[in-house]
Every structure is written in C-alpha cells, then in structure tokens.
C-alpha cells in the first residue's frame, strides 16, 4: 500500500516530525523485509513488514517495524 500524497502522521500518539529539516508532511510505503541480507545479519526480520514514512521535503526515511505481524 502506498500513499504518494504527503500528509501528517502520528505513530504511537506522537506526531512525526522530520529530524533533519523539521517538515511534518510525509508520504508512506510498506516494505517487505524478506531479503537474504536480513538472514545473513541474523535479524529476525524475515518476512516482516516495515512501514516507511518519507519526508516530503528532504526525503528522510523513517522505518517502523511491527514486531508481531508476520507476512506469509
């Protein structure tokens, strides 16, 4: 699911603010973490979904992992 329209978001009841430029508008995408790299590094992230929020101004990317949600 992608949303190319920049909007304001909250994560865990905290408003997202870009740490680099201070922008508060982001667009989102979901990334599936099923790469061989994650196995190589020993992370337990295989087949997990990550939610990305990308700063509309400078392109800074937030990554949020849902520890409990496993994508099959």
Give the residue carrying structure tokens 């295989």.
46
Q: Contact at 8 Å (CB) between 26 and 6?
A: yes
CB 71 to Zn ion: min, Å? 28
Instruction: Give the shortest CB-45-to-Zn ion separation in angstroms.
Output: 25
Candidates 3-11, 24-32, 36-44, 60-68; binding stretch for Zn ion (CB under 5 A): 60-68
**In contact, 6 and 25? CB cutoff 8 Å:** yes
Compute the distance between CA of residue 48 and CA of residue 64 in angstroms, rounded to an integer.
Answer: 11
Binding mask 4-43 for Zn ion (x = CB under 5 A): --------------x-xx-x--------------------
CB 48 within 8 A of CB 66: yes
* Interacting residues toward Zn ion by CB under 5 A: 18, 20-21, 23, 55, 57-58, 60
């Amino acid at each position: 699911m992608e949303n190319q329209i920049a909007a304001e978001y909250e994560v865990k009841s905290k408003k997202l603010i870009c740490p680099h430029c201070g922008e508060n508008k982001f667009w989102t995408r979901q990334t599936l973490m099923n790469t061989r790299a994650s196995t190589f590094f020993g992370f337990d992230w295989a087949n997990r979904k990550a939610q990305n929020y990308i700063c509309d101004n400078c392109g800074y990317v937030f990554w949020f992992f849902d520890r409990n949600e496993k994508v099959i």
